[in-house]
Structure 1
Amino acid sequence: MTTLYLFGSAAPPVLEIAGVIQSAQARGWDVCLGLTPTAARWLEAQLPELERLTGHPVRSEYKLPTEPDVWPETHAIMLAPATFNTINEWSLGLTSKFVVGVVAEAIGKEIPTVAMPCVNSAYAQHPQFHWSVEALRSMGVTVLYGEGGFVPNQPGERRPEGYPWHLALDAVEMIVRPSAYDPARGNRTD
């Protein structure tokens, strides 16, 4: 099965992550969920259910050097929602957070990575944000920001249509098509 690392940071759409996991699984992905520490705190009550849903531990911290990896190797990474802080830390190579460290390393490993920010229009006016988005794009990251991706809303407002999760999932599929594997039959279905 094709593995997707689904990473989220602490923006309101992260509260919808269970549905996104189910959508990705319906598309054929084996999903491993990683969260920033604050996002993990927001979802603390749901973490056991999210682990059951994915079949993998939810990670928000680096493992100890002596601990084994608990996730399979990934074929693609999707970081959404990506906050102002997460985008800036990533582009600057500030990797104190697990998910930021993984996506920073993914650039060097050439792992296909899609990011979709979730920032309001006030944050979007900060010049560092635009520099960070452009820097990530220049490093080969698909950043869904602006037309055809996430468009900032006013501070404190939410879009009636919600966060465009489908755009991020579609973008990942355009880069890496998940294998169609039928575990009941033990074979590929495509």
Structure 2
Amino acid sequence: MTRTVYLFGSAAPPVLEVDGAVGELHRRGWDVCLGLTPTAADWLDDRIGTLEALTGHPVRSAYKRPGAPDVWPRADVILFAPVTFHSLNAWALGLTDRFVVGVVAEAIGKDIPTVAMPCVNAAYARHHRLDRSVAELRDMGVTVLYGEGGFVPNQPGTRHPYPWHLCYDAVDNAHPERASRT
């Protein structure tokens, strides 16, 4: 049985490592469909063809036209990583002008297990909206890997390695009865 994960990324530095994330998800038995915010798609523009070959699916960053067929299989799980301050807050507020934010907002109502791991610096983390958005998404059933046991903000201008492994484990555990043995 094929398991499909939608891997969504917004414009934070770890999105530049998305090919490694696709590879690890494949290794764990997932079919991967890649969606990006418009800015993330721009950052990866010269690699879109390679990423499409790697996933076997079109990379999407915009809504399809009404009536157009869907080019992806149905998601079993959605992973939004990295998710920026902007995308996380837009999602919690239901502002769905961007394709990936619209899909994850709708996933809540469709009961599609969704995992998110922010990538924000400590200056953004001081903004009250971030904690509110994280709490609201968690209340809606989203697994948000933030704080202890998840992404911990760094000081502006510094970076630590993005803890992708936490994302992979959370995706595998989203449906324990179907999780691959890793």
Asked if structure 1 preserves the Cα contact closer than 8 Å seen for 2:173 and 2:179, the reply is: no
The aligned counterpart of 1:186 is: none
Where do 1:1-190 residues align within 5 Å? Answer: 1-159=2-160, 162-177=161-176
In structure 2, runs of 5+ residues without a counterpart are none
1:158-182 deviations in whole A, cap 9, x for unaligned?
A: 11xx1000101101111125576xx
CA distance in 2, matches of 1:143, 1:21: 20
Contact 1:29 1:179 in 2 (8 A): no
Q: Distance in 2 between matches of 1:100 and 1:124?
A: 20
Give the letter aligned to residue 32 of structure 1.
C
CA displacement, residues 2-43 of structure 1 (integer Å, 9 cap, x when unaligned): 000000000000000000000000000000000000000000
Runs of 4+ in 1 over 2 A off after TM superposition: 176-180
Question: Could you state the TM-score of these two structures normalised by the residue count of structure 2?
Answer: 0.96
Percent of aligned positions with the same letter in both sequences? 65
Tell me the amino acid that sits aligned with residue 145 of structure 2: L
TM-score with structure 1 setting the length: 0.92
Alpha-carbon separation, structure 1, partners of 2:56 and 2:143: 27
- Counterpart Cα distance in 2 of 1:155 and 1:122: 7
CA contact (8 A) 1:91 1:135 kept: yes
Distance 2:63 2:174 in 1: 27
Please tell me the residue identity of whatever aligns with 1:146.
Answer: G
Per-residue Cα deviation, 1:125-173 (whole angstroms, up to 9, x for no partner): 00011100000000000000001000000001011xx100010110111
> What is the alpha-carbon root mean square deviation over aligned residues?
1.2
Deviation at 1:89, TM superposition (A): 0.1
> Which residue of structure 2 lines up, in the alignment, with residue 183 of structure 1?
none
TM-superposed deviation, 1:67: 1.1
- Which one has a bigger Cα radius of gyration? 1
- Partners of 2:134 and 2:109 in 1: how far apart? 17
The letter of the residue matching 2:95 is L
| Structure 1 runs not aligned, ≥5 long | 181-188
Give the aligned length. 179
- State the secondary structure of the residue aligned to 1:80: strand
Aligned residue type for 1:55:
G
